[in-house]
């Protein structure tokens, strides 16, 4: 239900849980009591911040994901008010140019599909700005508030829908995906015009002067095209003319207009083989230039840019991964280098929005989940406290851990100590592998349904989270080190990190477990087979087991080719097979828990079935396969998420703490009442 705005302080939403006062550690169940700030957008006048607060869905509610509320912080008074709360999911925040209206996307009662809404800063109910019959995929508001441009697909053929109702529901794979068109709607009159045809738009941003809409355009509405083939175009909303601005090769990230509309900054890969959009380029508008003529403002930078915003018409702000830290930097256009504003280790920022001398973002530290932060005149300040109950929870020591790989390369990681750590004693270890591999772990809040973090530390595990070569946060050349060498030197980095912990006397080398999802699941399967002598337990989540069949079933085959392999399978099939865990399944002595969403388009569920069957037939250790109906590449609904963390911790407990030989029970008792 939409709400009338009334002044109110943020209220805690208490779920039915085991009493917090009866415990002082973080448990698997407590993960689902954590709120967090997701997005933060400052108003153009710099006086208010709109932000979304994730609120966990109660387990006695219908199965699903968490809710996201809309809140607004008054920067002068420090007071925060809830504008939309309850069973809603609000996202994609924006502001009107006069700072009087907040815009967002949501499914409210008046539409079964996502639409763009506005809500007045001074009160009232939310009102729709679009009425797309197929729902909205993204939007941008004209600065004067008179029009909204949005991305949507065309409605399906009514006759085809009638046939489907009769059972004629054959699916034509990939061919009939509707294009993602750009529409412009005049708000006062409701007049709507379709501006594109025959291409698909994935991101749009209206220029401050209202003359152009920057659009990330790909040839087709396919995930692979959204990864690899987006190019920046300029759309003239008055004439409908669509022209390419730059020929950026490979992956494309966020775009941001300078305040005067004369420049467009964007985050991009530097070449087609670059696995992560992580470098800053600036294009003059409307003059078109070749990509080769553009300056890379982060060339030779040992980091990965994650977000950008303009301080003024000649100065950029950007957040970047640097090892396990996130920093904020300032880059004047034309200047030879950037200036560091927020030092590594102060907070892990997620996004950046700037106006009126203030930067805002969601950020975390090892001690608290993501909250709203502001930065002004050198002062970084936390503005919300969404989980006050965490003050009564003991959290284990967490730190940046740097070690040397066997070839001398420095590798960064996050290391969490056992909660009751005693020097001189050896502990079991869980190696938590991130996905990607074009991703990284940060030294902020790292405990979630998919990362064991403080939950495992409370059970007196060391938790080791390595940023092996090919991870982000160390520059383009570091990323490139994994190209064509999947699970080669990358995995050696993991083994070398384990050895470093063993050599320090921290870890019992006979009680080492490995787990992770996606590429982390691939590494876990690799550890349980190729390197089975190193691991006493493994958890494989939506992971790859057979690289040959995976490459022929994934929805991102071009991304896999360009940035991971550099070859097609038929060009060197033996190499692709050699990097497949199932090749080594017959030698496995590692108890392996395999979990997978049954609707996963990225890593087909058959990958887990292949691993399970090969281990069951030819391995020498316990193996179990868990399917999650209705889930994809990672679990979305909270019951499946709770099941995942409970099963995986129980698996590690059985084979690392208890050193058992038999699998734990197949069923789980869920603490949800």
Closest CA to 296 of 318, 278, 311, 317: 278
The C-alpha atoms of residue 24 and residue 392 are separated, in whole angstroms, by 6
The total number of structural domains in the chain stands at: 2
Range list of β-strands (E), 377-482: 379-382, 398-404, 410-416, 427-433, 462-467
**What CATH code is carried by the domain that includes residue 474?**
3.40.50.1820
Within 8 A by CB and 6+ apart from 92, the residues are: 39, 104, 105, 138, 139
Residues 530 and 454 in one domain: yes
Residues 401 and 543 in one domain: yes
The C-alpha atoms of residue 286 and residue 262 are separated, in whole angstroms, by 8
Residues 439 and 549 in one domain: yes
158 domain-assigned: no
Q: What is the pLDDT of residue 17?
A: 39
Residue 656 phi, psi dihedral angles, 5° rounding? -110, -40
Residues 588 and 652 in one domain: yes
The C-alpha atoms of residue 14 and residue 21 are separated, in whole angstroms, by 13
Give residue for tokens 């985050």.
267
Residues 606 and 647 in one domain: yes
Residues 366 and 489 in one domain: no
The C-alpha atoms of residue 328 and residue 321 are separated, in whole angstroms, by 9
Question: Backbone dihedral region of 627: left (phi > 0), alpha (psi from -120 to 50 degrees) or beta?
Answer: beta
Residue 115 pairs in a beta bridge with 106
Question: 114 to each of 111, 241, 254, how far by Cα in Å?
Answer: 7, 27, 22
Residues 367 and 496 in one domain: no
| Residue 256, both tokens | 């941001």
77 domain-assigned: yes
Domain span holding position 459: 394-657
Residues 592 and 533 in one domain: yes
Within 8 A by CB and 6+ apart from 605, the residues are: 596, 597, 598, 599, 627
How many residues comprise the chain?
A: 673
461 domain-assigned: yes
**475 prior amide bond cis, ω within 30:** no
Low-confidence ranges of the chain (pLDDT < 70): 1-22, 287-293
Angle at 353 between CA 352 and CA 358, to 5 degrees: 110
Q: What is the pLDDT of residue 110?
A: 75
The DSSP string of 461-513 is -EEEEEE-TT-SSS-HHHHHTTTT-TTTHHHHHHHHHHHHHHHTT-EEEEEEE
319 domain-assigned: no
Closest CA to 561 of 544, 546, 576: 576
146 domain-assigned: no
Question: Backbone dihedral region of 290: left (phi > 0), alpha (psi from -120 to 50 degrees) or beta?
Answer: beta
355 domain-assigned: yes
Rg (CA), the chain: 25
pLDDT digits (tens, 9 = 90+) for 141-153: 999 999 999 999 9
Q: What is the pLDDT of residue 5?
A: 32
The C-alpha atoms of residue 584 and residue 594 are separated, in whole angstroms, by 16
Residues 369 and 471 in one domain: no
- Are residues 419 and 394 in contact, defined by beta-carbon separation less than 8 angstroms? yes
Maximal CA-CA distance, the chain: 74
205 domain-assigned: no
Within 8 A by CB and 6+ apart from 172, the residues are: none
Residues 497 and 415 in one domain: yes
71 domain-assigned: yes
Which residue among 364, 393, 422 closes a domain?
Answer: 393
- Are residues 356 and 508 in contact, defined by beta-carbon separation less than 8 angstroms? no
Q: What is the pLDDT of residue 287?
A: 58
Residues 450 and 565 in one domain: yes
The C-alpha atoms of residue 129 and residue 120 are separated, in whole angstroms, by 13
Within 8 A by CB and 6+ apart from 176, the residues are: none
**483 prior amide bond cis, ω within 30:** no
Residues 477 and 598 in one domain: yes
What is the arrangement of strands in the sheet containing 315-322, beginning at the earlier edge strand? 304-312, 315-322, 325-332, 339-342
| Strand (E) or helix (H) holding 640 | helix 638-652
């Amino acid at each position: 239900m939409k709400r009338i705005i009334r002044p109110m302080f943020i209220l805690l939403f208490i779920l039915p849980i085991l009493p917090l006062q009866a415990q002082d550690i973080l448990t698997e169940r407590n993960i689902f009591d954590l709120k967090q700030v997701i997005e933060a957008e400052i108003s153009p006048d710099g006086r208010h911040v709109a932000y979304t607060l994730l609120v966990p869905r109660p387990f006695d509610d219908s199965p699903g994901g968490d809710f996201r509320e809309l809140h607004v912080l008054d920067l002068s008074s420090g007071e925060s008010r809830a504008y939309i709360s309850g069973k809603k999911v609000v996202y994609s925040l924006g502001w009107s140019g006069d700072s009087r209206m907040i815009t967002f996307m949501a499914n409210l009662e008046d539409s079964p599909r996502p639409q763009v809404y506005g809500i007045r800063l001074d009160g009232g109910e939310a009102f729709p700005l679009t009425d797309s019959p197929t729902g909205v995929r993204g939007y941008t508001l004209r600065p004067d508030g008179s029009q909204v441009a949005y991305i949507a697909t065309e409605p399906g053929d009514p006759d085809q829908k009638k046939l489907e109702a009769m059972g004629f529901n054959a699916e034509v794979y990939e061919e009939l995906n509707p294009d993602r068109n750009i529409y412009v709607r005049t708000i006062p009159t409701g007049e709507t015009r379709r501006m594109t045809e025959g291409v698909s738009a994935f991101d749009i941003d209206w220029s401050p002067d209202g003359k152009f809409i920057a659009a990330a355009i790909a040839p087709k509405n396919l995930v692979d095209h959204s990864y690899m083939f987006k190019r920046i175009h300029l759309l003239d909303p008055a004439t409908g003319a669509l022209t390419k601005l730059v020929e950026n090769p490979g992956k494309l990230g966020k775009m941001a207009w300078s305040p005067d509309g004369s420049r467009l900054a964007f985050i991009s890969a530097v070449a087609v083989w670059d696995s992560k959009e992580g470098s800053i380029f600036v294009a003059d508008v409307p003059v078109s230039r070749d990509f080769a003529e553009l300056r890379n403002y982060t060339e030779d930078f040992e980091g990965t840019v994650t977000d950008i915003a303009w301080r003024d018409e000649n100065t950029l702000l950007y957040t970047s991964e640097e090892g396990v830290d996130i920093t904020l930097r300032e880059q004047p256009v034309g200047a030879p280098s950037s200036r560091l504003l927020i030092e590594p280790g102060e907070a892990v920022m997620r996004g950046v929005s700037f106006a009126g001398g203030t930067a805002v973002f969601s950020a975390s530290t090892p001690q608290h989940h993501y909250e709203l932060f502001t930065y002004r005149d050198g002062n970084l300040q936390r503005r919300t406290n969404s989980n006050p109950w965490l003050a009564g929870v003991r959290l284990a020591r967490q730190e940046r851990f740097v070690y040397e790989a066997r070839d001398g390369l420095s590798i960064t990681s996050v290391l969490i100590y056992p909660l009751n750590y005693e020097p001189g004693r050896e502990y079991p270890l869980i190696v938590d592998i991130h996905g990607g591999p074009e991703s990284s772990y940060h030294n902020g809040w790292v405990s979630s349904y998919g990362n064991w973090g403080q939950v495992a530390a409370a059970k007196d595990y060391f938790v080791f989270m390595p940023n092996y070569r090919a991870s982000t946060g160390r520059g383009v050349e570091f990323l490139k080190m994994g190209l064509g060498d999947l699970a080669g030197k990358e995995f050696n980095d993991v083994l070398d990190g384990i050895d470093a912990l063993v050599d320090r006397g921290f870890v019992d080398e006979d009680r080492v477990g490995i787990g992770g999802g996606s590429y982390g699941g691939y590494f876990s399967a690799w550890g349980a087979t190729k390197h089975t002598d190193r691991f006493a337990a493994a958890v494989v989540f939506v992971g790859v087991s057979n690289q040959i069949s995976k490459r022929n079933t994934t929805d991102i085959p071009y991304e896999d080719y360009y940035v991971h392999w550099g070859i097609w399978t038929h060009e060197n099939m033996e190499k692709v097979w050699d990097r497949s865990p199932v090749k080594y399944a017959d030698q496995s002595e590692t108890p392996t828990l395999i979990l997978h969403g049954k609707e996963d388009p990225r890593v087909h569920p058959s990958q887990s079935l292949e691993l399970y069957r090969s281990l069951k037939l030819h391995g020498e250790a316990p193996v179990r396969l868990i399917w999650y109906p209705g889930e994809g590449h990672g679990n979305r609904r909270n019951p499946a998420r709770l099941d995942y963390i409970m099963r995986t911790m129980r698996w590690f407990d059985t084979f690392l703490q208890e050193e058992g030989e038999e699998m734990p029970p197949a069923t789980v008792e869920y603490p949800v009442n």
